[in-house]
Amino acid sequence: MKVTLSVKGRFHGFNLAQELNNRDALQTLITTYPKFMAKRFGIPAKKVISFLELEILARSYNKVRSDYSKVSHWFNDKFDNKVSKKLEECDLFVGWSGSSINSIVKAKELAMTSIVERGSSHILYQKNILEEESSLCGTSIAEIHPGVIDNELKEYEQADFISIPSNYVKRTFIDQGVPSEKLIQVPYGVNLGEFFPMKKEDEVFRFIHCGAINYRKGVHYLLQAFSELNIKNSELWVVGSIDPEVENIIKKYESENIIFHGTKPQSELKWFYSQCNVFCLASIEEGLAMVQAQALACGLPIITSENTGGSDLIIEGEHGFTFKIRDVDILKERMLYMYEHQEEAKAMGDAARLRMGHSYSWSNYGTKIYEAYLKAIEG
């Protein structure tokens, strides 16, 4: 089996490419990242096609403007058109959603099986729930470009299969009428050589959020929950970039016990996880947030909303808890339980670390996705 993989940016695409290459199944990786980045994942330069100019242009745009969502469709189309012209015959084409429709059409012309990789919920579910959140919060959340929605819907229809990471995402697709047999479900992995427990350096009980700080990630609900609990000798660490849309919320909950650390390189995250006791993610919508697996691998139990895919990673009550989106009262209950039962919380984290090591390495992911690809090709 030979696979061509197309990803604008990186996401988990380089991990996927690495696992395919380790199994002698990668024909070509097409990306906007430079070739030396792929080399760090053991992918030979001869197997990489890089449209670096698009990455540079997009990043330059982001530095001077705050409305990238309005032009994302243009960048997606540019990348997709370039990929379609570079496609050569192989067994399977895998392209990231939103930037692959022309490439999928070209793959069909070359009699290749095609898979669209979708890391989040169905695009229409995502659109609707973000609009709903915008209305509830009385603010404007960055909208998904209509062109992106149109392309994604075409990709779902034209691709032979849709690859998704969690049961939560699967439900959103089935609810939109996509047959379950068209869905390939494999949860993402975690780099166990990069994420492991380090020594905690003090006795402060800490909750941690890691990832973008915006309405989609539900940070406003987490800030509210922590502030209302007002637990002694506790802190909430928030690691990630702050979107302008939530600056007023951050000011509202300003406190010496809520500490914003800004964006940190991935190589430093294990230290931040290890200085904390519980990982919290209150997201309104995403597919399978990989920060959850990172935290679990570092020995933290998690408290996560049902719309993060986290329930696929844990056994409820054994490695953490889930709660319904926007349910601040239940979130507070879970957080308070962890604080009042610190030995049990520690035991959950220890069990979670073992679970990640046993079943959720990138190698485990590679084996499962490789087998799923073979099955897809065989029909």
As given in the structure block, the two tokens for residue 368 are 């499962």
Q: How many helices (H) and strands (E) does the chain have?
A: 15, 13
| Angle, CA 377 vertex, CA 374 and CA 378 arms, to 5° | 85
Rounded to 5, what percent of the chain is helix, strand, coil?
50, 15, 35
pTM above 0.85, yes or no: yes
Domains 3-189+361-378 and 205-359 share a fold: yes
Mapped onto helix, strand or coil, the DSSP state of residue 271 is helix
CB 286 within 8 Å of CB 212: no
Q: Could you list the pLDDT tens digit for every one of the 379 residues in the chain?
A: 999 999 999 999 999 999 999 999 999 999 999 999 999 999 999 999 999 999 999 888 878 877 777 788 899 999 999 999 999 999 999 999 999 999 999 999 999 999 999 999 999 999 999 999 999 988 777 778 899 999 999 999 999 999 999 999 999 999 999 999 999 999 999 999 999 999 999 999 999 999 999 999 999 999 999 999 999 999 999 999 998 889 889 999 999 999 999 999 999 999 999 999 999 999 999 999 999 999 999 999 999 999 999 999 999 999 999 999 999 999 999 999 999 999 999 999 999 999 999 999 999 999 999 999 999 999 7
Task: Tell me how long the chain is.
Answer: 379
> CATH classification of 3-189+361-378, choosing from 3.40.50.2000, 3.30.70.270, 3.40.50.300, 1.10.3720.10?
3.40.50.2000
Q: Report domain 205-359's class.
A: alpha beta
Q: Is the dihedral of CA 94, 95, 96, 98 positive or negative?
A: negative
Instruction: Tell me which H or E stretch contains 161.
Output: strand 161-164
Closest CA to 169 of 318, 310, 6: 310
- Give the residue extent of every domain in the chain: 3-189+361-378, 205-359
User: Is 265 in a helix, a strand, or coil?
Assistant: coil
Residue 32 tokens read as 């906007």
DSSP assignment of 199-213 equals: ---S--EEEEEES-B
CB atoms closer than 10 angstroms to residue 43: 23
For 22, 186, 193, 195, 359, the CA distances from 367, given in Å and listed in that order, are 10, 10, 18, 20, 11
| Residue 127, amino acid | K
Helices 219-229 and 328-340: crossing angle, nearest 10°?
50
